[in-house]
Amino acid sequence: GSQPACTTAVMNWVHGTYTIQSNGSIILTPNGDGYQQIQDPCAAISNFIQDYNDTELIPNFWYAYYDPTLGSALQLYSFDGTPLASVYVASKTPSMLLTQSLRNVTPAMT
C-alpha cells in the first residue's frame, strides 16, 4: 500500500530555449548545466541533487490565454486531457538567468 508520509518531491533548475513546432508542440532545450533535486523522506538517501539535462517535448496539449485578474497564462494538459495548474506571467521583462552556461560541465569519459 501507499505511505502518505513518504511523499516524493522533485525540483528542476533548468534554463535554455524553447521552440514551438508546426504541429503545435513545444520543445524545451536545456543548456546542459541544470540540476535536479529529489527529496524522499522514506528513501535510503532522503535528499540529493544531481545533474539534469533532458530535452523535453510538450505535445500540443496546451493553449495560451488572458485572465482579466491574473494576466497572461499558459494552460497545460496531461496525456489524458486532465488540466494541470496554469502558469502565469510574473514579469514581462526578463528577470531570470541568461540562456548561456552558468557552470562548466565536462562530459563524462567512457
% of the chain exceeding 90 in pLDDT: 25
The answer for residues whose C-beta is within 8 angstroms of residue 16's C-beta and 6 or more apart is: 28, 29, 30, 31, 34, 99
> Is the confidence at residue 1, as pLDDT, over 60?
no
Cα gap 24→65, rounded to integer Å: 15
Cα gap 12→105, rounded to integer Å: 17
Mean pLDDT of the chain: 84
> Which tens digit of pLDDT belongs to each residue from 9-62?
988 888 888 899 999 899 999 888 888 999 988 888 888 888 888 999 988 888
What is the bridge-based pairing of β-strands 9-13 and 34-39? antiparallel
Position 69 scores a pLDDT of 94
- Domain edges within the chain: 1-60, 61-91
User: Can you read off the three cell numbers belonging to residue 100?
Assistant: 548561456
Of the candidates 29, 36, 30, the one whose C-alpha atom is nearest the C-alpha of residue 51 is: 36
Mean pLDDT of 74-102: 80
Q: Determine the residue type at 46.
A: S
Query: Contact at 8 Å (CB) between 26 and 47?
Result: no
Query: Contact at 8 Å (CB) between 80 and 10?
Result: no
